[in-house]
């Protein structure tokens, strides 16, 4: 329901603002402002997007929670769409979303409305250094054509070939 209201309200707000601003400063200055905000907004989106991508890379490299950089990246993408949409209202919303503190506020507001039931991150070793939790590997249907690496017995050292081709290629 909210999306329908937004699709109805935003164009009406934009038309009213175009008429008001155009009546105050004229047609050409109004169009120039719209074009300039689109060009400047694109440059700002590129800058903030690169920063968000670096933050995401850093959080993935450090194995920390990537929620914040992902959310910021999504909001920067929305800001870019808003800035490329002609209009004063959408440009204002887009520019606001390019401010990191505003994005943090939006993220906190959205997080207060969302409930996460379960979240897991890999990297924790189970018993014996296994990457799986104590219950074992995740359940997968058995496929007779697939050999699990855990099921392959170690080859004794004396049976391993010492030199020469591996046998996997034809020479």
Higher-scoring residue by pLDDT: 98, 123: 98
Residue 33 has pLDDT above 60, yes or no: yes
| Residue 125 backbone dihedrals phi, psi, to 5 degrees | -85, 140
Q: Is the pTM of this model over 0.75?
A: no
Chain centre distance of CA 141 = 31
Write the pLDDT tens digit of every residue in 104-124.
Answer: 999 999 888 877 666 565 555
CB within 8 Å of 40: residues ≥ 6 apart:
none
- Going from the C-alpha of 150 to that of each of 27, 72, 127, 146, 154, the distances in angstroms are 72, 40, 15, 12, 10
Where along the chain do its domains lie?
A: 13-113
CA dist 58 and 52 (Å) reads 10
């Amino acid at each position: 329901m909210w999306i329908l209201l937004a699709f109805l309200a935003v164009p009406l707000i934009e038309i009213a603002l175009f008429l008001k601003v155009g009546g105050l400063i004229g047609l050409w200055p109004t169009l120039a402002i719209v074009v300039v905000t689109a060009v400047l907004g694109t440059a700002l989106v590129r800058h903030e997007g690169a920063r968000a991508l670096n933050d995401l890379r850093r959080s993935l490299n450090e194995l920390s929670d990537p929620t914040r950089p992902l959310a910021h990246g999504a909001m920067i993408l929305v800001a870019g769409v808003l800035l490329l949409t002609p209009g004063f209202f959408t440009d204002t919303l887009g520019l606001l979303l390019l401010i990191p503190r505003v994005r943090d506020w939006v993220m906190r507001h959205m997080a207060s409305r969302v409930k996460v039931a379960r979240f897991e991150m890999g990297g924790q070793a189970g018993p014996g250094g296994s990457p799986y939790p104590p219950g074992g590997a995740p359940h997968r249907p058995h496929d007779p054509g697939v050999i699990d690496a855990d099921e392959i017995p170690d080859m004794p050292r004396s049976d391993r070939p010492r030199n020469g081709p591996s046998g996997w290629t034809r020479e």
